[in-house]
Amino acid sequence: MKKLEVLEKVFGHNSFRTFQEEAVDAIVDGKDLLMILPTGGGKSLCYQLPSLLMDGVTVVVSPLIALMQDQVRGLSENGIEARTINSDMSEEERQVVFMELKRGVVKLLYVAPERLSSMNFIEFLTTLKINFFVIDEAHCVSEWGHEFRADYRKLGLLKEYFPNCPISAFTATATPKVAEDIQKALRLENPVSLRGSVFRDNLKIYSEKRISSGRTQLINFLNAHKNEAGIVYTFTRKEAEQTAAFLQSKNFSAHAYHARIDSAVKERVYKDFLHDRIDIVVATIAFGMGIDKSNIRFVAHTSLPKTIENFYQEIGRAGRDGLDSETLLLYTKGDEIQKRELMNSVDSEEYKEVLYGKLQKMYHFALSGSCKHKLLGVYFGDKVDVCETKCGSCLKEPVEQLDITKAAQQFLSAIYRVGQKFGQNQVIDILRGSKSEKILNFNHDKLSVYAIGNDRSKNEWGMIADRLFELELVNVGEHRALKLAQKAKDVLKGTLKVWIDEDKIGKLAKVIIDEEDEKEPKNELFESFRTLRRELATENNIPAYIVFSDKTLVELSKKLPQNREEMLDIHGIGEVKFERYGEKFLNLSKELASE
C-alpha cells in the first residue's frame, strides 16, 4: 500500500499533520532523522506508518513500560502486529515474543534502553531484518537536557552494531543545544532535521502565585472542568494523597498516584483513568510520561516544576486530540528555593549549575507578565508570536501600575539590617512587627526597620518580594538567606522606581470559590457517544480513548453520519476501527439523528 492509503485505511486520517509526511519520507528513504515535535503533534505516526511500508521489524526504544504497553495496545487495535519485551514479563512471555520475531510476525518491537546494554540481546537483533531504530524521548540522551539517563547515552553504540540501519530520534522538548547534543551522541549521519512549532494553539496557559495552600485556586480551576479528564501534579507524595482526599470531599472523582502506592492500587488507578472511570489523577511526576490518553482536558501544577522542559512536557498531556484544553500553574518563591536545595545533592558541579539555571528560568517564566507561549518559543529557540487569547498574560485586562518603591526600600533595608543572613519569612516578620521567638532571640525587634510595614499583610509582602525577585533586585544565597543584588542600591538611593500591577496586591484578599461558575456541559449527543465508547472499552478491557478519541466523538456528534462511507470520513475512523466498532456507533448515530 502507498503511504496515503495506509494513512486513511489503517490510521483513519485523510491528511498528514505538519511535518509528518516529511518524516515518513525521510525514514522510507533510509535517512537518519531528528524530529522535535510538541506532544500531541503526532510523532508516533511518523515512525509507525513507514514501518508498515517497509520490510522487516522496527525497534522502538522507549523509557517507560506503561508507555510501551499503551503503544502496543493502540497498534493492536489498528490491526498492527506490535510487541514489547520488558522486565514486567515472565521469561515464558518473552520467549514467545522472541519466536514471533524470528518468524517475522512482528512489525514494531518496543524495548527499554537498558535492554540494548545486553550483548545477548544485541546479538539476537543482528539475526533479524531490522528496517530502522526509533529513539523516543530522545532528550534523555543529552547531558544538557532535563531527564538525562546514562543508558540512553549508550545508544550511540547502535551505529557500531548496525552501521547500515537508520536511526530516527523523536522528542517533544529540546533546546537547540540539546538537539545538537542528541545528534552528536546518537552519531546521526546528516540527519533530516524537523522542528515543529512550540506553539500549541489549543492550549491555554494560566500562571498564578499560590495563595496559602492553593486549594481555593485549584477548586476554582477544576469547577470549569467538571466531568472532564485531567491531571493535577503535586511536589510530594504526601501532598498528592492529601489533595486527592480534599478533592474527593468536594465531590470530584479524583485519586492519588505516586511511586510508593501499593502496586495493585497504582495499577487500578492507572486503568480507571484510562477507561474514564475516574476523572482526575493527583500525581507526582512519576505519572504522565507513560500515558497515551488523548482526551485529557486540563493539567494543573500545585507547585513550580524544576525546568521549563518538565513543565512543557507535562502540560503537553492535555489536548493531544487537538481540542481546547487548559493548564494552571501555581507557584511561590519558596518552590524555587526548595527545589534548588534538593539539587545540592548532584555530584557534578557543572550539571548542578545547568539545573540551577533551568530552575531560575522556570521561576521567571511563572512570574513573567509576558505572553507565556512566546516565552516558551524563546526558550526553545522558536519564533512564536504573542498569542493574544491563549494565555493568562494576554487575556488579562490592562491594569494600573502601582508605585511600590517605598515598600521595596523597606524590604531591601530589612535584608541589609539583618546582614543578608536571613530568609524571606524572617524579613517579613520584622517588617510586620512580629513578636515571634526567633525575632526576639536575635534582637530583631530593636532594628530601625522593625514594624515599619505592619500596615501590609503577609501575603502582600510576599507578592512584593516576588516582584523584587522578578526584577532581579534580590537573590537567594545559602540556607535561603536573601541577598541584595547590585542594582538594589539604585532603589535604596531612590534613583530607580519599582512598580507592580495593582491587582496583584488587591486580589490577594478576595479569592472566592464560586461553585456555580462552571462551563456549560458538552452537548447531549457527545455524551451519548461517550457512554457507548465507555461501554465498549469496558467490554474489551481497553482504555476508552483507544476505541475513539474525543475529537472523533465531537465530529460524530456534529455530523451524525448515516452510512459506512460517511463514517469513514470521520477523523480517526479507519477501516479496521470501523470493522470493530463502526456498526454500533453508526446505529447510535442513526438513532440520534431520527430523534
230-248 pLDDT per residue, tens: 999 999 889 999 999 999 9
480 shares its domain with 570: no
271 shares its domain with 235: yes
Confidence (pTM):
0.70
207 shares its domain with 102: no
Arithmetic mean of pLDDT, 353-378: 90
Specify whether the CB–CB gap between 402 and 501 falls below 8 A.
yes
- Where is pLDDT greater, at 82 or 398? 82
447-481 pLDDT per residue, tens: 999 999 999 988 889 889 988 988 889 988 777 78
186 shares its domain with 50: yes
Residue 536 pLDDT exceeds 70: yes
Q: The CATH number of the domain where 381 resides is what?
A: 3.40.50.300
Residue 12 pLDDT exceeds 70: yes
Q: Match 469513514 to its residue by C-alpha cell.
A: 568
| Residue 519 placed within a domain | no
Give the domain extent around 468.
Answer: 401-507
Q: What is the largest CA-CA distance in the chain?
A: 84
CA distances 547 to 188, 534, 585, Å, are 37, 9, 11
Number of domains forming the structure of the chain: 4
385 shares its domain with 407: no
| Residue 360 placed within a domain | yes
- Residue 56's pLDDT is 96
Q: The CATH number of the domain where 433 resides is what?
A: 1.10.10.10
Name the band, by pLDDT with cuts 50, 70 and 90, for residue 512.
very low
Residue 14 pLDDT exceeds 70: yes
376 shares its domain with 279: yes
434 shares its domain with 534: no
Where does a domain end: 395, 423, 440?
395
Give CA–CA dist 549/554, Å, rounded: 9
Task: Name residues whose C-beta falls within 8 Å of residue 68's C-beta, 6 or more positions apart in sequence.
Answer: 60, 62, 84, 86, 110, 111, 112
CA contacts within 13 A on the Cβ side of 241: 10
Arithmetic mean of pLDDT, 395-411: 89
3-class secondary structure, 354: helix
Radius of gyration for the alpha carbons in the chain, expressed in angstroms and rounded: 27
428 shares its domain with 560: no
Q: Match 538537539 to its residue by C-alpha cell.
A: 179
311 shares its domain with 357: yes
| Residue 513 placed within a domain | no
| Residue 516 placed within a domain | no
26 shares its domain with 126: yes
85-110 pLDDT per residue, tens: 988 889 999 999 999 999 999 999 99
Q: Tell me which of 335-349, 419-433, 509-523 is least confident.
A: 509-523
| Residue 517 placed within a domain | no
423-438 pLDDT per residue, tens: 999 999 999 999 999 9
Helix (H) or strand (E) holding 356: helix 349-367
Task: Name residues whose C-beta falls within 8 Å of residue 85's C-beta, 6 or more positions apart in sequence.
Answer: 94, 97, 98, 109, 110, 111, 115
Give CA–CA dist 289/284, Å, rounded: 11
- Residue 146's pLDDT is 59
Mean pLDDT of the chain: 88
φ, ψ of residue 277 in degrees (nearest 5): -85, -20
344 shares its domain with 258: yes
51 shares its domain with 114: yes
